[in-house]
Structure 1
Amino acid sequence: MTMPAFSARSTLRRLFQRWGAHPEGRKHPAADTEITPLPLPAQLILPLAQHIGAPARPLVQAGQQVLRGELIAEAQGAISAPLHAPTSGRILGIAEVPVPHASGLSGPAILLEPDGLDEALPPEIADPFMLEPADIARRVASAGIVGMGGATFPSAVKLALGQKTRIPTLILNGGECEPYLSCDDRLMRERAPEVVDGARIILRAIGGERAMIGVEDNKPEAIAALREAAADLADVEVVTVPSRYPMGSEKQLISWLTGREIPAEGRPADIGVMVQNVGTAAAIHRAIRFGEPLTRRIVTVSGGAIRTPRNLEVRIGTPLSALVEFCGGTTGTVARWVMGGPMMGLAIRSLDIPVIKGSGGLLALVESELAALPEPGPCIRCASCVGACPIGLMPLDMAALIRNGDLKASVDIGLKDCISCGTCSFVCPSQIPLVQYFNHAKGELAAQDRNRMKQDAIKQLVEARESRMEREAREKAEAAARRKAERERAKAAAAQAAAAKSAPATNTEETTA
């Protein structure tokens, strides 16, 4: 029997303090500033890989003129997303540039020089409630929309699940639990009707019955704005959730709002739930209602070194240096630049990196904002990490197994269920970088899987070659046998013909005699 939602929430509230952490929010003063459009930069840098899956394939050449919203790179494969021109201008070419990635390596990107006119293609406007679900998914795919919360999974792939399995519940993630970041908060405050309308469009696309928008209780203005926008809608509910990290994680939000858990290595769809970010819902609203592909997003620029922290609406491809300059530059020495949030974001070394579809923030942190971490000490078995883990894992035991090289045993006790939120590292009194152990182990396992797949592929190729050589040898032997048999038959036929030829002459001689 399914536990009622209110009963599930009550139970979870009683158990809530058993997991997670509460890092200092530091969302102000950026959260207090209205969304401001950022002027176009001199050049836009558009990486071809702005999503999970294969990079998009470029469709433009150097010197080509394009309009805002024009397709400049097409998706390759099912889990991929196209790329559109964020403004009108001239294509400068395709080059290897620094991209937002933990490796620090470069990647291919289309370089676009804006012409300042910002001319757009004629939009393809539609009433979403007159469209078939499959058509909504197709339009979302064509618009290049991916998860705006940072995961960058192509949204249309999720929507298509609604045509294969029953998904009655949609959850919009408005948690935004990362410190400093407030881009989703400002979106919900200022554009609540877009978020709510996006939720209803997604419901139609997946055949869902109800939508819940989960918002942390430290965002009262956003909650009020959303409730006003959804006041007359029976299928959309705005639910307050505790402001505790990592409440913005998909698994935690689902557990809190529904009282259900995703099976190990399963998906939300397995329990009839779909999760989308509030920014993704707003992007879907614009794509379906106004034919606007995903070419811009809201980015929080904050941190102790930023002169004027604020939230900016930025064209995809804008160099990070343009955001910092618009915010008045920096004050003092920047100890670390972070793209995203401080808990799960990416430390970067260059501001030449562009804003991409999953970029939610840019932080310029000063020394005082970085924990002065001593050298990691020995594990004291205090189990703080166990109590804080939002998944209910045993981080101390997993780390011990990984240090001993027993990756299989770490998988057996839940390594693959780890969401890499970093809560265990945050609360560890010995400053052990637990999440680094887990990410390293996941990387090793992924490398082993790739190597195993490579070895399997080589084995298949060798077996196929041996089979082919055996087949060819057999076919050659059979062909040689056929040729020999044909020669024997030809020889026998020739002998018969010769015998037949000489037979009449002999008979004549015998008759004459």
Structure 2
Amino acid sequence: MKLLSFKLGIHPPERKESTEHLKVEKAVEPKIVTIPLQQHIGAACEPLVKVGDIVKLGQKIGEPQGFVSAAVHSSVSGTVKAIAEKPAASGGEVLSVVIESDGNNEIDPSIQPKGDITSLDPKEIINIIKDAGIVGMGGAAFPTHVKLSPPPDKKVDLIILNGAECEPYLTADHRLMLENPEDIIYGLKAMMKATGVKNAIIGIENNKMDAVKVMHEAVQKEEGIKVAVLQTKYPQGAEKQLIYACTKKEVPSGGLPMDVGVIVNNVATAAQIAKTIKTGMPLIDRITTVAGKCIKNPKNLLVKVGVSIKEVIDQCDGYKEKPGKIIMGGPMMGLAQYTDEVALTKGSSGVIVFDEKEATTPDPSNCIRCSRCIQICPAFLRPVQIAENSAHNMMENAEKYRALDCIECGSCSYICPSKLPLLHSIRVAKRSILAKKRQQKG
């Protein structure tokens, strides 16, 4: 069997064995949820509720502000206790709605099945996805209705579903493919109809051959849909790398997947689209892998948006010992958290907890000019040059070295023998460059 892949990259230890064979468990109903009004790329939502309001399960509580935004809904029924700034998974604080559950999960009257994709037209499908607040559930959390609405001059002819799940530890998508392939295919077909696309590929790494088998069987009778087996390598699930692996097309510098006629979405996003069309329920819960040496009993949990990290860890019987680092997402691209009171969001694919020994970062030493970061960079950048210019606040030079093309996979920091925090420096450069561009626009 020929395995598809991209150029360069790395192969960190997979460390999926603690959860890859564990079925998804439904988490215990929360007593309280803290739902951020911005848990997606784009503009934050404006609250539609006030303190003291009674809300229902699935009720819209946050109104999008702009096209690139996503509605926010209540994941419980109960009473709004506060609307305040709360710790955010992305760092800092974000305006959030705190809801005390009444335990009844009374569904909002607006939640009704949307019909069947055969009877829905493309515009109706996109509006259903938009109203449900569906975003990319692989971690990026980009509003899905935006991806499915390319401008007229961009002719899209292929959808790729990302089932690679290349991050170490994470197995949420793996279990979803094994346990609910029908919804993945249904949601994919809805996306195909919404965009008029006739062909689709589901990309899965070859460390999940059981999922390859299940998904291959699920598409046997589906016209235009096939499964591609990918080499297990990091970052195989990154958009541009996945597109190259499946099609050998290269997204141009500064470009988007639609520039080569492709839309990429996550398998979990497809499954949520199916759930919303069939039941009317918006995106209020997701599968999250809870793992790491510091977790007593790692699990794949179906958790509600707004539940705290501490609560999901308690459902895994707590910490084995004092945690050294808590990461939202995977260890390569995820973000370290300063408190376990942070709420899980639509993009929370994993919670990984390292012990103090694992969390210890070696002191960096001088660059030895080995060029290993250049040799493995999947975006064909010179990470050390970008990082050096960033460290000296020479952002124009960093931009000349194509800092904005960095996909923030962390491969350079991982491979660096001098343990230089290359990714952190590159992130600083990207944010500075983008901030300056926004200022220039006015």
Which range, TM-score by smaller chain? over 0.9
CA distance in 1, matches of 2:436, 2:262: 32
Pairwise CA distance, 1:400 = 3.6
Structure with more helix by fraction: 1
1:110 has 2:94 as partner: no
When residues 430 and 79 of structure 1 are mapped into structure 2, their CA distance, relative to the original with a 3 A threshold, is same
| Equivalent position of 1:445 in the other structure | 433
- Is the contact between residue 163 and residue 206 of structure 1 (CA under 8 Å) also seen in structure 2? no
Pairwise CA distance, 1:394 = 1.8
- Within the candidate set 326, 329, 352, 2:315 is matched to 326
Pairwise CA distance, 1:433 = 1.4
Any residues of structure 2 matched to 1:44-83 within 5 Å, and which? 44-83=33-72
Does 1 or 2 have the higher relative contact order (CA < 8 Å, sep 6+)?
A: 2
| Equivalent position of 1:232 in the other structure | 221
SS in 2 for 1:32: coil
CA distance in 2, matches of 1:334, 1:147: 29
| Equivalent position of 1:123 in the other structure | 112
When residues 237 and 195 of structure 1 are mapped into structure 2, their CA distance, relative to the original with a 3 A threshold, is same
Aligned length: 440
CA distance in 2, matches of 1:37, 1:393: 42
SS in 1 for 2:170: coil
CA distance in 2, matches of 1:401, 1:117: 56
1:413 has 2:401 as partner: yes
Pairwise CA distance, 1:405 = 4.0
Paired residue type of 1:388: I
CA distance in 2, matches of 1:404, 1:107: 31
| Equivalent position of 2:353 in the other structure | 364
| Equivalent position of 1:284 in the other structure | 273
Q: Deviations over 1:234-281 (max 9, x none)?
A: 211111111111111001000010000111111111111000011111
Length-normalised TM-score, structure 1: 0.82
Pairwise CA distance, 1:378 = 2.1
| Equivalent position of 1:272 in the other structure | 261
Q: Deviations over 1:325-365 (max 9, x none)?
A: 11111112211111111111111121111111111111111
Pairwise CA distance, 1:403 = 4.1
Q: Which has the larger radius of gyration?
A: 1
When residues 218 and 162 of structure 1 are mapped into structure 2, their CA distance, relative to the original with a 3 A threshold, is farther
Q: Deviations over 1:157-188 (max 9, x none)?
A: 11122766321100001111111111111111
- Within the candidate set 81, 86, 90, 1:97 is matched to 86
Bigger shift: residues 199-208 or 411-420: 411-420
Moved over 4 A (4+): none
- Within the candidate set 186, 199, 209, 1:220 is matched to 209
When residues 162 and 193 of structure 1 are mapped into structure 2, their CA distance, relative to the original with a 3 A threshold, is farther
SS in 2 for 1:213: strand
| Equivalent position of 1:387 in the other structure | 375
- Within the candidate set 410, 417, 432, 2:420 is matched to 432
| Equivalent position of 1:312 in the other structure | 301
| Equivalent position of 1:338 in the other structure | 327
- Is the contact between residue 45 and residue 109 of structure 1 (CA under 8 Å) also seen in structure 2? yes
Identical columns (%): 38
1:208 has 2:197 as partner: yes
Length-normalised TM-score, structure 2: 0.95
- Is the contact between residue 399 and residue 433 of structure 2 (CA under 8 Å) also seen in structure 1? no
Pairwise CA distance, 1:33 = 0.9
Pairwise CA distance, 1:108 = 1.3
Query: What is the root-mean-square deviation in Å for CA atoms of aligned residues?
Result: 1.8
When residues 308 and 233 of structure 1 are mapped into structure 2, their CA distance, relative to the original with a 3 A threshold, is same
Gaps of 5+ in 1: 1-5, 458-513
